[in-house]
C-alpha cells in the first residue's frame, strides 16, 4: 500500500468524494480478503466477515483525524481488533464448546478443501447438538436445566437469574459453574446416547 496515496484518498473521502471512498475500499480489499479467509467464526460466512471488516473500515474513516497521517495502521488494527472481538464474543456465548471459533493458519487453510470442511463442520455440529441435548435432558437436574435454559437459550444474564431466583450473584455463579462442569463432563466424556 502506498501510504501517501491512502492518506490522500482518506482526505478526499472525508469531504464526501464517493470515488475516493471506492478507491479506498479497493486498496483495503486484499487485506480484508486475507483476514476473512484466515478466520472462522461459527455462524458467519466469509462474506459476513468481509462485511464486518468493511463496516469497521468506514467507521475508521468517520472517526479518523487527518492530521495524524496514520490511517493504514489505524484501520488495520481496528479491523483485526473487531474480528478478534467477534471471536471472543462467540467463544463467551458458547462457553461449553471451546471449538466454535478459531482462527486458521495459512497452511491449514490451503490444505483443507472447502467442501470437506463444510461437511465435517456440519457433522460435528450435529453430533455436538445431539450430545448437548441428551446431556441437558438426562444428566442435569431440574434446577440446572432451568439455569441453562434461562441463560443460554433465552439469552438472559446471570444477574437476572440471581434476581429471578432470589439468590446472591455468588450463589448464581456457583450454580452456573456446577452446571457447565456437568455439561463438559458428560458432553466431552464420550458418553453413549441414542440418536
Reported as a single tens digit per residue, the pLDDT across 51-93 is 999 999 999 988 988 888 889 999 999 999 998 888 888 776 6
What mean pLDDT is reported for the chain?
A: 78
Q: Domain locations in the chain?
A: 3-108, 113-188
Assign 3-state DSSP to the chain and report helix, strand, coil percentages, each to 5.
Answer: 75, 5, 20
The dihedral through the CA atoms of 118, 97, 87, 156 has a sign that is positive
N- to C-terminal Cα distance for the chain? Answer: 54
Whole-model pTM: value is: 0.48
pLDDT of residue 107: 44
pLDDT confidence of residue 104 = 43
pLDDT category at 102 given cuts 50, 70, 90 is: very low
Q: Do domains 3-108 and 113-188 have the same CATH topology?
A: no
The per-residue pLDDT for 106 is: 44
Cell of 157: 444474564
What pLDDT, on a 0 to 100 scale, did the predictor assign at position 91?
72
- So what's the architecture of 113-188 in CATH? Orthogonal Bundle (1.10)
Find out if CATH 1.10.1740 is the number for domain 3-108. yes
Amino acid at each position: 500500500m502506498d501510504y501517501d496515496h491512502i492518506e490522500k484518498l482518506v482526505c478526499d473521502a472525508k469531504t464526501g468524494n464517493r470515488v475516493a471512498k471506492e478507491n479506498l475500499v479497493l486498496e483495503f480489499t486484499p487485506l480484508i480478503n486475507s483476514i476473512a479467509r484466515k478466520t472462522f467464526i461459527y455462524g458467519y460466512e466469509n462474506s459476513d466477515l468481509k462485511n464486518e471488516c468493511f463496516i469497521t473500515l468506514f467507521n475508521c474513516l468517520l472517526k479518523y483525524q487527518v492530521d495524524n497521517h496514520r490511517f493504514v495502521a489505524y484501520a488495520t488494527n481496528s479491523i483485526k481488533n473487531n474480528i478478534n472481538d467477534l471471536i471472543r464474543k462467540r467463544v463467551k456465548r458458547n462457553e461449553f464448546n471451546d471449538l466454535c471459533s478459531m482462527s486458521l493458519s495459512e497452511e491449514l487453510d490451503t490444505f483443507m478443501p472447502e467442501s470437506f470442511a463444510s461437511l465435517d463442520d456440519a457433522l460435528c455440529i450435529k453430533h455436538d447438538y445431539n450430545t448437548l441435548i441428551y446431556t441437558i435432558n438426562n444428566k442435569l437436574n431440574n434446577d440446572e436445566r432451568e439455569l441453562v435454559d434461562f441463560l443460554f437459550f433465552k439469552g438472559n444474564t446471570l444477574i437476572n437469574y440471581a434476581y429471578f431466583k432470589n439468590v446472591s450473584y455468588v450463589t448464581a455463579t456457583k450454580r452456573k459453574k456446577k452446571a457447565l462442569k456437568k455439561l463438559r463432563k458428560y458432553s466431552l466424556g464420550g458418553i453413549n446416547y441414542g440418536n
